[in-house]
């Protein structure tokens, strides 16, 4: 429970007066903790490719901004920004802050699991230029302060090879993965594919490329976990191997130069 009271100046000791009609648990003789009331600054978030959010999500974002006062900037991203409440956690990029205590705060107040990425602006720019999955993550975000990214793609084939290996999990673990897990692995593979092709990375562009290759309605079928295994895995292996061969070939060329 929480009560607000003003410190009054006394002759020998300053004092705080509490009303007698107060909630149970604050009886005379009970030890309490006295803390100053923090004046919270309400921020107007900067929305990038986010059309609308539910009021509860807006409240969560404002509470994060209020809790982390020292960060140079805060970016909220990931599935939390998608319509509805199908997200598993909330992804937060903190610029020049560790976010101490934030995980516990969000867990206790909202029951949310939190994935925190701490970095500076230079690291952020490098990630956006070289990592298609990071580009995908930050294609849509809500920021505490207005920010713009001038992305200049740089093809780091060793990094792309490492990311591609993660998508191989779909082939051997198809029967054990949920629809959302399958979609994430497929999405990552096609994000790498269009990154190499020089296409702008967004969820919309990735989904279009998935359906261009597998057929219309594939994205919904994957997410709903009703995609037909045999035909899907056959085509998935083909595109995976094609992409893997291209990346390995570029790595070999770089070594020979």
Where exactly are the structural domains of the chain?
A: 46-143, 157-256
- Nearest 5°: the CA angle 143, 42, 78 is 25
- Residues with Cβ within 8 Å of residue 190, at least 6 apart in sequence: 206, 209, 210, 213
pLDDT in tens, the chain (257 residues): 556 667 788 888 888 877 777 767 777 877 777 766 555 556 688 999 998 888 889 989 999 998 898 899 999 999 899 888 877 789 999 999 988 899 999 998 888 999 999 999 999 999 999 999 999 999 999 999 999 888 888 999 999 999 999 999 999 999 999 998 999 999 999 999 999 999 989 989 999 999 999 999 999 999 999 999 999 999 999 999 999 999 999 999 888 77
Q: Which fold has domain 46-143?
A: Beta Polymerase; domain 2 (3.30.460)
What pLDDT is stored for residue 34 in this prediction? 75
206: tokens are 């990735």
pTM of the model: 0.77
What pLDDT is stored for residue 16 in this prediction? 80
What pLDDT is stored for residue 165 in this prediction? 94
Question: Whole-angstrom Cα distance, residue 215 to residue 237?
Answer: 16
């Amino acid at each position: 429970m929480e009560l607000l009271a003003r410190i009054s100046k006394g002759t020998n000791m300053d004092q705080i007066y509490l009303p007698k009609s107060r909630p149970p648990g604050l009886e005379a003789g009970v030890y309490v903790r006295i803390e100053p009331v923090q004046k919270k600054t309400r921020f107007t978030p900067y929305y990038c490719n986010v059309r609308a959010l539910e009021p509860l999500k807006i409240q969560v974002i404002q509470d994060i901004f209020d809790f982390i006062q020292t960060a140079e900037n805060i970016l909220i991203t990931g599935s939390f920004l998608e319509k509805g409440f199908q997200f598993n956690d909330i992804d937060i990029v903190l610029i020049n802050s560790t976010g101490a205590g934030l995980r516990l705060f969000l867990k206790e107040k909202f029951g949310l699991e939190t994935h925190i990425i701490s970095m500076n602006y230079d690291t952020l720019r490098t990630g956006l230029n070289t990592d298609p999955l990071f580009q995908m993550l930050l294609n849509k975000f809500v920021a505490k302060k207005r920010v713009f990214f001038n992305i200049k793609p740089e093809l780091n084939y060793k990094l792309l090879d490492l990311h591609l290996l993660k998508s191989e999990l779909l082939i051997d673990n198809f029967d054990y993965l949920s629809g959302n897990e399958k979609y994430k692995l497929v999405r990552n593979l096609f994000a790498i594919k269009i990154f190499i092709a020089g296409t702008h990375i967004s969820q919309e562009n990735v989904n279009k490329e998935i359906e261009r290759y597998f057929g219309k309605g594939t994205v919904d079928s994957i997410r709903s976990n009703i995609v037909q295994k045999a035909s899907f895995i056959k085509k998935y292996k083909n595109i995976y191997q094609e992409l893997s061969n291209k990346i390995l070939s570029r790595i070999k060329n770089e070594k020979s130069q």
